[in-house]
Chains A and B, each alone.
Chain A
Amino acid sequence: MKRTVPLIIAIVAGFVLLIANFIPFAEDWGLTAQEWFNILAVGAMILGGGNLVKLHLMKISGQRKGWGYSVVTIGCFVGTLIFGLFKIGVHPNEIYPNVGWSGYYLEGGSGLWWIYQHMIVPLTSMMFAMLAFYVATAAFRAFRAKNTEATLLLVTAGVVLLGQTYAGVWLFEGWLPESMQWLRFDHLTEWVMNIPNTGGTRAITIGIALGVVATSLRILLGVDRSYLGQD
């Protein structure tokens, strides 16, 4: 029963969404299913939040390795929750001036807004900025000319890299004959991006699309139940 009911729900919801795509009468059904999902997701947030607090409190109480990070996590969680729930620093809405909590929770200048603007946004940007360094280390490893394929990749990457900058034009200025202009890095880059790159990407995309259909059919027909923990 524990596995059968979710399986039936998955199959019915899947077929409803499939039918809604082709039958105009049922086009609203898909939206209804999406609304149900959103309601479930909101309920599950409480489950997730509870799990987060429980795990970190256990870590703190057991003083396990790295418990200091858990203190920071719990502190931030509780602090943000208080600022958000009690709308600290939020002014009442103009329509309901006598109702203290009627204002918008992310109103400019409020506590939650400050946390978002001055803590979450800069921290997120910092993590994103780290990507530049990771790209460099990954490129260093990927572009080592160990064999023919890797050398080809290295040369192509070098051409595309230069072709995206002014150097791709400047290097060939003045000396390359008109008939050989196609050799300019910016022109080669355009060719690489438009022909082999687009072709390869489309091949992968077609494979993905077919894979999605096949997986969906396996789930809809109940052939694949492993996501429910069944073989």
Chain B
Amino acid sequence: MKKSHTFYIGVFVSLAYSGVASALSFETLPEPPMDLVVIDTPDDAGNSVELDWALSGTDIFNPLIENASDTDPSTIVATYSIERKVSDAIGSELDESDLNWQKVSEAGAGESHWTDRTVERGWTYDYRICSVDNQGDSSTWCNGEPVTPVMQIFNMSKAWLAIFMLIFGGFIAYFINQARAGKPLWVRKIAGLEAIDEAVGRATEMGRPVLFVAGIQDINEIQTLAGLTVLSRVAKTAAEYGAQIEVPTCRSLVMAAARETVEAAYLSAGAPDAYQPDKIHYLTDEQFAFVAGVTGYMVREEPAACIYMGGFYAESLILAETGNHIGAIQVAGTAMPSQLPFFVASCDYTLIGEEFFAASAYLSGDPLQIGSLKGQDYGKFFSVLILVIGIFFASIISLSDSEDGLAVDSLNYINNNMLGSEGLGSFGGGDTDIEGDDS
């Protein structure tokens, strides 16, 4: 071999070596995410998996990086790439692709959580995650432990809700049984409901109609159902007195249900011939168009009594003020706290919240239903008891200024477990939150 050839080969080898060496030493890859934790989502039907990871060291949203501006721009994380493969499918036939790593999602920089909702119950999955920079370069992979999503029989995060419902239902069932056994139950008078007969009587004397509005919600809302139960009584009284009743509705299904209710009321009052189905009619689903239609009717026909029972929004004041303007006697009932002040200001009688729901039982006079009201009262007492206990512990914490101890643990348990979503959980965990939240 010539000397010159040997020289060229030597140069080539040294250049190649230095190229590889420089590539190895200067290739800039983003740092990988850390500590991938994969768990089966608790309290679900086994159809999702939760992934959590610690952000990469070159993710500028990582709060652990002291000087994010010093991060090498070429290594800044743009996304996190998440891959998945099936390691066990409990005998199910799998595609070849399921057995290999497949990209299932991408999370943006700064994100450290993702929920996979495309898993099959009972299959075992492996997950891995890497960070990717703007050039498309990927870091090394961070693997998680295999996970098998399973279905929980009961949603434990709602355990306390179920317990409260059982206690409350128990009170109601007990008092219904007491009423069934013939024990007399006393219920305080509700002025607004006593006034309904008076209002219908006044309309009869004046020869004017009674207007009944069952709110603007659909039939699947409990307030509409509560409104229809009152309508039943109003229609029966109107049938007995020979008064005319007008029921404009904002939903077609409410119209159909209201017709059934009124027809049955006229039948039970012994006046089936006086029932006029066209008086229960549909106007429109549009909130303010409905109000325009009803107020137009009120101004033209001047009903002597206007009864509003159901779910109302901003239209409540327009309706009630128009009724007030025409001099009608007005009774309203709703469970919308924001609309109650308007009804109180403009109507003669207002059923506030629970009174509205008690109306049906109160008006029926049926001992079984009255029994349920009594149970409701005991449920209220139970709620107040929990409130008082909570206030007691919060006051102790405030006065002693302590951050741990029995009072703090108790308050946390009431806040996070009994009123929150942590289920039965363990006593003594959770964060201190004396302020609580508005929920």
Interface residues of A (CB under 8 A from B): 3, 21-25, 27-28, 37, 40-41, 44-45, 47-49, 51-52, 55, 58, 65-66, 69, 120, 123-124, 127-128, 130-131, 134-135, 137-139, 141-142, 201, 204-208, 210-219, 223-224, 226-231
Least Cβ–Cβ distance between A64 and chain B, in angstroms: 11
A211 with B357, Cβ < 8 A, contacts A47-B255, A216-B222, A227-B257 known: yes
B: number of interface residues (CB 8 Å): 85
Least Cβ–Cβ distance between A172 and chain B, in angstroms: 28
27 A–B contacts, CB within 8 A, in A order: A3-B264, A21-B158, A23-B155, A24-B155, A25-B153, A41-B252, A47-B256, A48-B282, A52-B284, A55-B278, A124-B287, A128-B314, A134-B317, A137-B321, A141-B324, A207-B380, A210-B383, A211-B354, A211-B356, A212-B357, A213-B169, A214-B379, A217-B172, A223-B372, A226-B233, A229-B261, A229-B264
Interface residues of B (CB under 8 A from A): 43-46, 151-155, 158, 161-162, 165, 168-169, 172, 176, 218, 220, 222, 225-226, 228-229, 232-233, 251-253, 255-257, 260-265, 267-268, 278, 281-284, 286-289, 291-292, 296, 300, 314, 317-318, 320-321, 324, 335, 337, 340, 342, 344-346, 352-354, 356-358, 360-361, 364, 366, 368-369, 372-373, 375-376, 379-380, 383
A211 and B289 within 8 A (CB): no
A66 and B300 within 8 A (CB): yes
SS class, residues of chain B in contact with chain A: helix
B300 and A65 within 8 A (CB): yes
A24 and B151 within 8 A (CB): yes
Contacting residue for B289 out of A123, A206, A210, CB 8 A: A123
B358 and A211 within 8 A (CB): yes
Interface centre among A130, A207, A227 (most CB of B within 10 A): A227
Residues of B within 8 Å of A223, CB to CB, are 176, 366, 368-369, 372
A69 and B296 within 8 A (CB): yes
Residues of A within 8 Å of B233, CB to CB, are 226
Docked pose: A230 CA to B320 CA in angstroms: 29
Residues of A within 8 Å of B340, CB to CB, are 204
A214 and B155 within 8 A (CB): no
Residues of A within 8 Å of B317, CB to CB, are 131, 134-135, 138
Residues of B within 8 Å of A123, CB to CB, are 288-289, 292
Residues of B within 8 Å of A230, CB to CB, are 264
Least Cβ–Cβ distance between B120 and chain A, in angstroms: 15
Residues of A within 8 Å of B268, CB to CB, are 231
Least Cβ–Cβ distance between A55 and chain B, in angstroms: 5
Docked pose: A51 CA to B288 CA in angstroms: 20
A211 and B288 within 8 A (CB): no
Give the residue name and chain of the B residue nearest to A13 (CB).
B220
A124 and B288 within 8 A (CB): yes
A124 and B289 within 8 A (CB): yes
Residues of A within 8 Å of B364, CB to CB, are 224, 226, 231
Residues of B within 8 Å of A217, CB to CB, are 169, 172, 372
B380 and A206 within 8 A (CB): yes
Residues of A within 8 Å of B344, CB to CB, are 142
Residues of A within 8 Å of B292, CB to CB, are 123, 127
Give the residue name and chain of the A residue nearest to B282 (CB).
A48
A204 and B353 within 8 A (CB): yes
Interface centre among A44, A55, A130, A208 (most CB of B within 10 A): A208
A134 with B321, Cβ < 8 A, contacts A45-B252, A47-B255, A120-B286 known: yes
Residues of A within 8 Å of B257, CB to CB, are 227
Docked pose: A134 CA to B375 CA in angstroms: 39
Give the residue name and chain of the A residue nearest to B169 (CB).
A217
A229 and B260 within 8 A (CB): yes
Docked pose: A45 CA to B268 CA in angstroms: 29
Known: A24-B44, A40-B253, A211-B376. 13 other contacts (CB 8 A): A3-B264, A22-B155, A24-B45, A24-B152, A24-B154, A41-B218, A47-B252, A127-B288, A138-B342, A205-B337, A214-B358, A226-B360, A229-B264
